[in-house]
Amino acid sequence: MSQPFKKYICKTCGLIYDEELGDPDSGLAPGTRFEDIPDDWYCPLCLVSKSDFVLIDESKSAAPSCEGTKRKASTKADVLIVGSGYAGWQAAEAIRAVSDEAVITLLTADDGTVYPKPALSMALGQNRTPDDIPEATANQKAAELNIGVKTKTKVMSINTARKKVMTTTGSFAYDKLIIATGAKALMPRIEGDAVHEVMTINDLQAYKKFYGKLQGKQEVTLIGGGLIATELAEDLASYGVKVRLIVRGAHLMSQIMPEAIARRLEEKLMSRGIDIVFNSELKSIDYGDEGKYVLKTDQGEVLQTELVLAAIGLSPNTELAKKAGLKTNLGICIDEHCVTSDENIYAIGDCAEIDGVIQAYLEPIRRQVKALASHIFGADEQVFKVLPTLIKTKTPSLSIMLSPPLHATHGLWETTLNVGDNQQLFYKEEQNVIGFALSGELVASANKLYNELYSA
């Protein structure tokens, strides 16, 4: 009698590997047991290794049932980290990996819960509630890394001369400071008496609030047509909710995806009942009858819905850095070691900019923290290099892998293969390939193609 199939979850992004389904996009046939997966296989979503997956049952019980001794935050740290998102915790791990002795303190304005943020746009389809998403409390993670943590503590200012930060719970001194404050969700500029009812999702707390509001609702309108809005739309549809997307552009993910693949995806989404309103911008939201909202667009459309969720992008949190006099542009300007304009302050993640680029994805963060850790402690010198990002969309209707160009250019997408769902396009500037997009079965070749283009 064969053993029942198991499910494994990526600790980094929350992707689930189901042995029964396999991962055909990566060449793993349905029924492939986890132990039979080659060791060089990687998570197709965030590109971490096989070793970063754990059994789902184990992941739910991995965190201790009790908090244990509370981790005290030292007010004089060798390394002080501001922010408890993926970047903040990754920085703590990277520093601890190169120094057993360093005094590390992490400050966070929220409760510091450790969770995979990408899971927020696919949890519904996985039948996971907000309570299923957390991996550990701040105290549990701090104990694991032997660091101090201070939650519910907002940093108000940085005194660069005295090397201190002032917070709502007191001051903390540092030798080296890491800013990992991330980015905030943008809100659309709209009018109406129900503007305050428009929701955004950029963290677990916001997702819990949205999930609570979602219960009992039948209709949700999403504002936005980018990566996150599209992923949320399909996830909501899998939950049995009628979904509408209001998209300002002419096709989905217009900033990173070629129109040819976007059109194919749009067909798939609409066949699932998702209504997509293109070339339209929401202008107002007002209370209507029977618990609904009335939406009006700049094209004269009048729509009704039970819930409105905005996903139009992120804005780096640079206010703290600006007050401290650090150089900023789109984000906090850093060099190849992730050092800001102050030699004792580093910045990483969604709030950091290098060479005019902000890379708001997990893989660049993993390289950033290695660079700063080696720079702080003089280990084997590593530097952070801006590279095109490899993106797998969380759209079950159509497998897509993208590596869009780093900068907006006057290049063009060129189709090199188009057979049904299987499309391959290269983004060319003059005759140079600086990006690509794959769909269908062709996504299996994404990693090989990426390495061929950029490994040199």
Angstrom distance (rounded) from CA 174 to CA 224:
41
Angstrom distance (rounded) from CA 64 to CA 432:
52
387 in a domain, yes or no? no
221 in a domain, yes or no? yes
100 in a domain, yes or no? yes
Tokens of 324: 């401290």
Query: What is the domain extent for residue 408?
Result: 399-454
125 in a domain, yes or no? yes
pLDDT in tens, 108-161: 999 999 999 999 999 999 999 999 999 999 999 999 999 999 999 999 999 999
Nearest one of 307, 180, 321 to 232, comparing CA atoms: 307
pLDDT in tens, 319-332: 999 999 999 999 99
**Domain check: are 136 and 172 in the same one?**
yes
**Domain check: are 373 and 414 in the same one?**
no
Last residue of a domain, one of 16, 34, 61: 61
Residues 6+ apart with CB under 8 A from 189: none
Tell me whether residue 146 is exposed, middle or buried, using C-beta atoms within 10 angstroms of its C-beta: 0 to 12, 13 to 18, 19 or more: middle
Last residue of a domain, one of 296, 312, 328: 312
- Give the pairing type, strands 219-223 and 307-310: parallel
Task: Report the phi/psi class of residue 356: left, alpha or beta, with left for phi > 0 and alpha for psi in -120 to 50.
Answer: left
pLDDT in tens, 88-113: 999 999 999 999 999 999 999 999 99
User: How many domains in the chain?
Assistant: 4
Residue count of the chain: 456
168 in a domain, yes or no? yes
**Domain check: are 321 and 306 in the same one?**
no
pLDDT in tens, 358-401: 988 899 999 999 999 999 998 767 899 999 999 999 999 999 99
- Torsion, CA 359, CA 360, CA 365, CA 367, rounded to 10: -30
**Domain check: are 11 and 81 in the same one?**
no
Q: Is the pLDDT confidence value at 60 over 80?
A: no
Binning pLDDT at 50, 70 and 90, where does residue 456 land? low
Angstrom distance (rounded) from CA 232 to CA 310:
10
Contact (CB, 8 A) for 294 and 285: yes
Angstrom distance (rounded) from CA 345 to CA 160:
9
Last residue of a domain, one of 312, 337, 360: 312
* pLDDT at position 66: 47
* pLDDT at position 73: 87
Contact (CB, 8 A) for 403 and 268: no
- Torsion, CA 304, CA 305, CA 309, CA 312, rounded to 10: -30
Helices assigned H by DSSP within 294-336: 319-323
Tokens of 455: 């490994």
**Domain check: are 257 and 151 in the same one?**
no
Tell me the three state secondary structure of residue 380.
coil
Mean pLDDT value of segment 317-345? 97
Q: Is the pLDDT confidence value at 194 over 90?
A: yes
**Domain check: are 217 and 135 in the same one?**
no
Angstrom distance (rounded) from CA 308 to CA 314:
17
Angstrom distance (rounded) from CA 178 to CA 176:
7
* Residue 202's CATH number: 3.50.50.60
**Domain check: are 174 and 319 in the same one?**
yes
384 in a domain, yes or no? no
**Domain check: are 214 and 288 in the same one?**
yes
**Domain check: are 300 and 192 in the same one?**
yes
Q: What is the largest CA-CA distance in the chain?
A: 69
Binning pLDDT at 50, 70 and 90, where does residue 59 land? very low
Contact (CB, 8 A) for 200 and 274: no
**Domain check: are 110 and 179 in the same one?**
yes
* Residue 48's CATH number: 2.20.28.10
**Domain check: are 138 and 217 in the same one?**
no
67 in a domain, yes or no? no
**Domain check: are 258 and 301 in the same one?**
yes
How confident is the prediction for the chain on average, in pLDDT? 92
336 in a domain, yes or no? yes
